[in-house]
Amino acid sequence: MAVGVLIALGESLSPGTYTDVRFTWLHLPAPPPGHPGAFPNGFSLVMGTLVDPLSALMLVVVTVVGFLVMLYSIEYMRKERGLPRYYAELSLFLAAMNGLVLADNLLEFFLFWELVGLCSYFLIGFHYERPAAASAAKEAFLVTRVGDVMFLLGIFLYFAVYGAKGPGLGWAASGFLFVQGNHAFLAGVPAGNPTLLTVAGIMILGGAAGKSAQFPLDVWLPDAMEGPTTVSALIHAATMVAAGVYLLAVTSVFLGFTAFDSLLIVALGGITTFFAATMAVVQPDIKRVIAYSTISQLGYMVLAVGAGFTMVGLYHLFTHAFFKALLFLAAGAVIHAVGTQDLFRMGGLRKRMPLTAAAFAIGGLALAGIPPFAGFWSKDDLLAGVYSTLGSHPAYWPFFLLAFATVFLTGYYIFRAWFLAFSGEPRDPSLHAGHEGPWEMTVPLVILSALAVVAGLFVYLPGFQALLLHGGGVAGIPPVYGTTQLLLSAVGVSLAGGGILVAWALWGSGRIVPTPSAAPAAGMRRVLLARYGIKSAYDWLGATGVYTVARAADFFDRFVIDGAVHGFERAFGDLSERMRRIQTGLVSDYASYVVGGLLVVAALLLVVAPYLVGRFGGG
């Protein structure tokens, strides 16, 4: 199915084609001559749908994964209460996500961006009666909100920079509208204020970091695992969290980033990739392992977009969506069967759930980047692409190395999870015996497994290749670098394989290895489990910093504002009581009001207004 969709899309979207249906939502005309106005060229708010290579790729991901997750939900959510709410919110999410992908300007994009955030909040808090879920939902909402505000400021800044450039460059060319070739067009006009442009780019990056859980706004995603696993698979692995990367891609295609912003994006991607992976290494919770892995993989995509390989970043987004949804749904099958998320209480599930074990293994191999699984192709291209920029951008070196080292960690943590869950013997007899789910759960696993195997090879389909090569008029897949790329691939695969081997050596028996009592290792473990203290730092910031400010504000509020408000209220309440007494119900009074009003109007028109107009020159 997906292959068919893809080939069709690939064929229809041969280089440079796109479909844009656009309509004016609201238009304010230019002011008449002699009325210098705020918008000298008029002002149009435009809405529309744009299908171009970027959105086509995202559409396939959203609809295919969305369909499979819906199917899977039938069984997974069967026993839950509040199912109408669940399906309504999930459907609203899919609609909003498609709207975001199809948006043809930044403002419309932002509208749907807020809507998917709202749905994410609803669905993380689906079990709102559990305090952990409710607070995770709130945390996700607040942290992404920081990014949202930055995003909006970024939109304003771009408008300030490009909107002031002149008639042809107002609304349309400021990147609010995703006009094909806008990037090149903007490159030809006199540059905007570079400082403002850089700040605008940083703001956009902040928005993307919030949505895609990039450092330091990454804390909400692991906690968002309180939502149902289906939600984690769809929203927090395949689609919504990728919207941040998509935003960066769209911005880089239609507006472009300054050199400083690019470096910042590369740095953010590299750092996030590595540190998220280290935190995944020690997690006892199966869903959190995958959650940290999602953050880490999103870091790869951000890295690629920052280095200028936008379509390669999206290529990794594409393959990642399938194998990460697969990992989540396989984990969901395990959780559904045994009733716990704690890896240390599982074990030996391979015999009872062979299909799930195989699916998880395929997802793991794809994630680790072992050929011929999907992740290998996209990650290989991605790293090769970043490597090719190192010559001209030596500052990218440390982040490239971090990303490269992460390949080893990835292989290790995902197979540590696999060995803990599936190999050896059951460790906790109190868990009820797990077994495979019905077809609604296994069919999505099989389809996603197939995609996790072959999705990387799509790049050899001519249509898809054209999509990646020419998408949006920016750098596509890096050219083949001959021996250099082969060498890079070989090293990468060896690193991943090494990680898997270490995982096998430590956990392959399925027996829990006692944590080494040696101080450095235990200390490291504590640091990692505490997420480098970032969350505690936020808590401290919230508890002391914000609370102190809040106390001061409260004091101000109570003694200054309340005083004023109450005084105002007393005066006002009195006034409105008195005004109410005007309404006597006696018609003779009303007639006298008319006469009184006439005198007032006459006084205004004949004396007061002429005086004021004469004095101040009028409107």
Residues in contact with other proteins by the rule CB under 8 A: 23-29, 31-32, 35-39, 43, 572, 575-577, 579-580, 582-583, 585, 587, 589-591, 593-598, 600-602, 604-606, 609-610, 612-614, 618-619
Nearer to other proteins, 37 or 516 (CB): 37
- Closest C-alpha among 605, 572, 618 to residue 597: 605
By CB neighbour count within 10 A (0-12 exposed, 13-18 middle, 19+ buried), where does 63 fall? middle
Q: Where are the alpha helices (DSSP H) in 307-373?
A: 310-338, 349-352, 354-368
CA atoms within 13 A on the CB side of 335: 21
Residue 48 parent element (H or E):
strand 43-51
Residues in CB range of 388: below 8 A, 6 or more apart: 478, 481
Instruction: Report in angstroms how near the CB of residue 613 gets to other proteins at its nearest.
Output: 4
Bridge-partner residues for 143, per DSSP? Answer: none
For residue 194, whether the previous peptide bond is cis, meaning omega lies within 30 degrees of 0, is: no
Residues in CB range of 329: below 8 A, 6 or more apart: 68, 69, 72, 229, 230, 233, 359, 441, 444, 445, 448
DSSP state of 384: H
Instruction: Report in angstroms how near the CB of residue 102 gets to other proteins at its nearest.
Output: 17
Nearer to other proteins, 505 or 561 (CB): 561
Nearer to other proteins, 460 or 577 (CB): 577
Q: Where are the alpha helices (DSSP H) in 77-169?
A: 83-102, 106-124, 131-163
Instruction: Report in angstroms how near the CB of residue 176 gets to other proteins at its nearest.
Output: 17
Instruction: Report in angstroms how near the CB of residue 164 gets to other proteins at its nearest.
Output: 17
Cα(319)–Cα(419) distance, integer angstroms? 24
DSSP state of 345: G
Nearer to other proteins, 548 or 592 (CB): 592
Instruction: Report in angstroms how near the CB of residue 88 gets to other proteins at its nearest.
Output: 16
Do residues 5 and 464 lie in contact, with contact meaning Cβ atoms separated by under 8 Å?
no
Instruction: Report in angstroms how near the CB of residue 567 gets to other proteins at its nearest.
Output: 17
CA dist list (Å): 63 to 58, 93, 94, 413, 576: 9, 12, 8, 29, 57
Reduce the DSSP state of residue 347 to 3 states and report it: coil
Nearer to other proteins, 391 or 619 (CB): 619
Instruction: Report in angstroms how near the CB of residue 161 gets to other proteins at its nearest.
Output: 21
The terminus-to-terminus CA distance of the chain in angstroms comes to 66
Residue type, 290: I
Reduce the DSSP state of residue 27 to 3 states and report it: strand
Report angle CA 297, 301, 302 to the nearest 5 degrees: 110
Do residues 103 and 112 lie in contact, with contact meaning Cβ atoms separated by under 8 Å?
yes
Nearer to other proteins, 372 or 596 (CB): 596
Place of tokens 């102190």: 548
Report angle CA 78, 81, 85 to the nearest 5 degrees: 100
Instruction: Report in angstroms how near the CB of residue 557 gets to other proteins at its nearest.
Output: 18
By CB neighbour count within 10 A (0-12 exposed, 13-18 middle, 19+ buried), where does 535 fall? middle
Nearer to other proteins, 513 or 586 (CB): 586
Instruction: Report in angstroms how near the CB of residue 51 gets to other proteins at its nearest.
Output: 21
Nearer to other proteins, 187 or 586 (CB): 586
Instruction: Report in angstroms how near the CB of residue 222 gets to other proteins at its nearest.
Output: 34
Do residues 282 and 529 lie in contact, with contact meaning Cβ atoms separated by under 8 Å?
yes
Residue type, 603: A
Instruction: Report in angstroms how near the CB of residue 142 gets to other proteins at its nearest.
Output: 23
Nearer to other proteins, 433 or 608 (CB): 608
DSSP letters for 508-571: TTSSPPPPP--HHHHHHHHHHHTGGGHHHHHHHIIIIIIHHHHHHHHHHIIIIIHHHHHHHHHH
Residue 105 main-chain phi, psi, to 5 deg: -155, 165
Alpha-carbon torsion 541, 542, 548, 552, what sign? Answer: positive
Instruction: Report in angstroms how near the CB of residue 594 gets to other proteins at its nearest.
Output: 6
Nearer to other proteins, 428 or 569 (CB): 569
Nearer to other proteins, 560 or 571 (CB): 571
Instruction: Report in angstroms how near the CB of residue 611 gets to other proteins at its nearest.
Output: 8
Nearer to other proteins, 533 or 597 (CB): 597
Nearer to other proteins, 79 or 580 (CB): 580
Nearer to other proteins, 391 or 585 (CB): 585
Nearer to other proteins, 23 or 460 (CB): 23
Instruction: Report in angstroms how near the CB of residue 606 gets to other proteins at its nearest.
Output: 6
Instruction: Report in angstroms how near the CB of residue 119 gets to other proteins at its nearest.
Output: 17
Do residues 240 and 93 lie in contact, with contact meaning Cβ atoms separated by under 8 Å?
yes
